[in-house]
Amino acid sequence: MSTLLVIAKAPVAGRVKTRLTTAFSPQQAADLARAALRDTLDAVLATPAGRRVLVLEGAPGPWVPPGIEVVPQGAGGLDARLAAAFALAEGAALLIGMDTPQVTPGLLALGLDFTEADAWFGPADDGGFWALGLADPDPALLLGVPMSVPDTGKVQRQRLTAAGLAVRDLPELCDVDTPADAERVASAAPGTRFAALHSGLCAVPR
């Protein structure tokens, strides 16, 4: 049974997207995070999968749509929390974050197609990764990978190939971390909640 995993923080002001607060208020940054998460969950719901799981730090709210299972994140560093998320899967799994509201059901479905791959890797343009798919999830493939550094993605992909896995790549996407990222992603995905909110916020004099 295939599983789509979304690892995310609850969109609470002052706790998410703090790097956006150079251009937006903490509440506006949290609102943008919520819009990005809703867009991501919409794409997840439109993708064929046996389970759709939100692995959440914080409390769920009304922004979680029906059809999404919510479980709390594990403890430890990000590598340990990602490993714990994969341990929830009972078969092939694709894990994504909440920072790519431009993601589409087509991309997610591709990342769950393991007919010619053991793993899928989705690089982010900041050197990290926005998606990781494993035909046979093994948490050890993530433990010890340094997270949130410029070569995180390179090290993670090397970990997969060193394990003898046949790895295929998804398109590179931009994570929303900074105001410049937010502008790029909103321009690239104009039909999203994120883009609509971003446009509205940018139209308000600050």
pLDDT tens per residue, range 116-149: 999 999 999 999 999 999 999 999 999 999 999 9
> Is residue 206 pLDDT above 60, yes or no?
no
Residue bearing tokens 């104009």:
190
In angstroms, the CA 53 to CA 5 distance is 5
Between the alpha carbon of residue 62 and those of residues 34, 56, 72, the distances in Å are 11, 14, 16
> Is residue 53 pLDDT above 70, yes or no?
yes
Q: Phi/psi of residue 168, each to 5°? A: -115, 155
Which residues, including other chains, have CB under 8 Å from residue 58's CB and lie 6 or more apart? 9, 10, 12, 15
pTM exceeds 0.75, yes or no: yes
* Count, residues in the chain: 206
Give pLDDT tens digits for 87-100: 999 999 999 999 99
